[in-house]
Amino acid sequence: FMSNESSGLQLRPPTVIGQFHTLFFGSIRMFFLGVLGFAVYGNEALHFSCDPDKREVNLFCYNQFRPITPQVFWALQLVIVLVPGAFFHLYAACKSIKQEDILQKSSYTGFYIFSVFLRIVLEVVAFWLQIQLFGFKVNAIYMCDVGALEKKFNITRCMVPEHFEKTIFLIAMYTFTVITVILCVAEIFEISCRRLGFLKTQ
């Protein structure tokens, strides 16, 4: 009984691509966001300045410029995308499912493929939301509508700090999402090939 329980709790993705995806997702992507993301975006609000350089104007325009901070968005993306896999592994642990059983029993295989497919859907939705929120480029100047705050003028110019670094970081996060989706699609393909006998099951 203990050996079965242990195998369920130590369950890994049943495919080579799935294990690589876990390493890529868990290590590189989180490290990139946690370390470099803080370095690039950590003090953005403090260095965001408008004309006139008043605290209330800067704060009002920054909230308009960033409805949600990129770090928070990407952290939520990582957590939400992890949910389908977490549910599957919780189910596998409760049922004491061995790693090799996932590709041998159709019900387990279907459940696992569904979790991977759901992960793809969540990544695509996050990709679309990122485009709507941040676009593909961070401009040096942001034109802020302060009509609700200042009666003297409606539009003011704001300086966006380190805009070039932020553009590079945006492209990198888009790239990570695309790579993750490709890995998920490749994992489904690998599972199909193993089920059809084109590849040997681990």
**Predicted confidence band of residue 15 (pLDDT cuts 50, 70, 90):** confident
Q: Which two tokens stand for residue 55?
A: 């605290």
pLDDT digits (tens, 9 = 90+) for 76-114: 988 898 888 888 888 888 877 777 777 778 888 888 899
**Predicted confidence band of residue 8 (pLDDT cuts 50, 70, 90):** very low
- Return the pLDDT at 11: 57
Strands (E), the chain: 49-50, 141-145, 155-159
Bridge partners, 159 (sequence order): 49, 141
Is the pLDDT at 63 greater than 80? The verdict is yes
Question: Nearest Cα to 182, choosing from 11, 13, 32, 20?
Answer: 20
- Return the pLDDT at 151: 59
- Return the pLDDT at 131: 93
Q: Which two tokens stand for residue 65?
A: 């410029």
Task: Decide which of 158 and 43 is more confident.
Answer: 158
Is 185 within 8 Å of 116 (Cβ atoms)? Answer: no
Is 7 within 8 Å of 99 (Cβ atoms)? Answer: yes
**Predicted confidence band of residue 69 (pLDDT cuts 50, 70, 90):** confident
**Predicted confidence band of residue 128 (pLDDT cuts 50, 70, 90):** very high
Q: Is 184 helix (H, G, I), strand (E, B) or coil?
A: helix
Question: Nearest Cα to 125, choosing from 83, 187, 66?
Answer: 83
Query: Distance between CA 180 and CA 172 in Å, rounded?
Result: 12
DSSP state of 25: I
Element (H, E) at 84: helix 70-95
- Domain spans, the chain: 18-37+47-201
pLDDT digits (tens, 9 = 90+) for 131-187: 999 999 999 999 988 877 765 667 888 999 888 989 999 999 899 899 889 989 998
Q: Which two tokens stand for residue 84?
A: 């389908």
Q: Which two tokens stand for residue 173?
A: 């996060």
- Return the pLDDT at 3: 42
Q: Return the CATH fold of 18-37+47-201.
A: de novo design (two linked rop proteins) (1.20.1440)
